[in-house]
Copies of this chain bind each other. A is one copy, B any other.
Amino acid sequence: MRVVGIMSGTSLDGIDVAIVDVRGKRVTPVAFRSIPYPSNVRAALLGVSNTMAHTAAISRLNFLLGELYAEAVLETCKRARVPLGSIELCGMHGQTIYHEGDAADFLGRRVASTLQIGEAAVVAERTGLRVISNFREADMAAGGKGAPLVPFVDALLFQHARLTRVAVNIGGIANITAIPPLRRADPYIEEVIAFDTGPGNMVIDALVAHMTGGEQTFDKNGRIARSGKVHQGLLESMMDDKYVCALPPKTTGRERFGQEFAAGLIATGIALPDLIATATAFTVDSIVYQIFRSTEPDEIIVSGGGVHNRWMMRRFREQLDPETIKTSAEFGIDPDAKEAIAFAVLAHESARGRCGNLPSATGARHAAVLGKSSLPQLS
By a beta-carbon cutoff of 8 Å, the part of chain A in contact with chain B is 38, 40-41, 44, 48-56, 58-60, 62-64, 66-67, 97-100, 104, 106-109, 111-115, 119-122, 124-126, 133-134, 137-138, 140-142, 353, 355, 366-369, 371-378
Contact = CB atoms under 8 A, between A and B. Distances in A.
Contact of A140 (B58, B63, B109): B63
B49 A113 contact: no
Contacts of A372: 120-121, 133-134, 372-374
Given A58-B55, A59-B100, A137 B111 contact: no
Contacts of A56: 50, 98, 100
19 contacts: A40-B107, A49-B55, A53-B53, A53-B55, A55-B58, A55-B98, A58-B58, A60-B100, A60-B113, A62-B113, A63-B111, A122-B141, A125-B141, A138-B374, A142-B377, A353-B378, A367-B377, A371-B374, A373-B373
A67 B113 CA distance: 12
Contact of A119 (B64, B141, B377): B141
A115 B378 contact: no
Nearest to A108: B40
A141 B66 contact: yes
B374 A98 contact: no
A124 to B, nearest CB: 7
Contacts of A376: 369
A366 B125 CA distance: 11
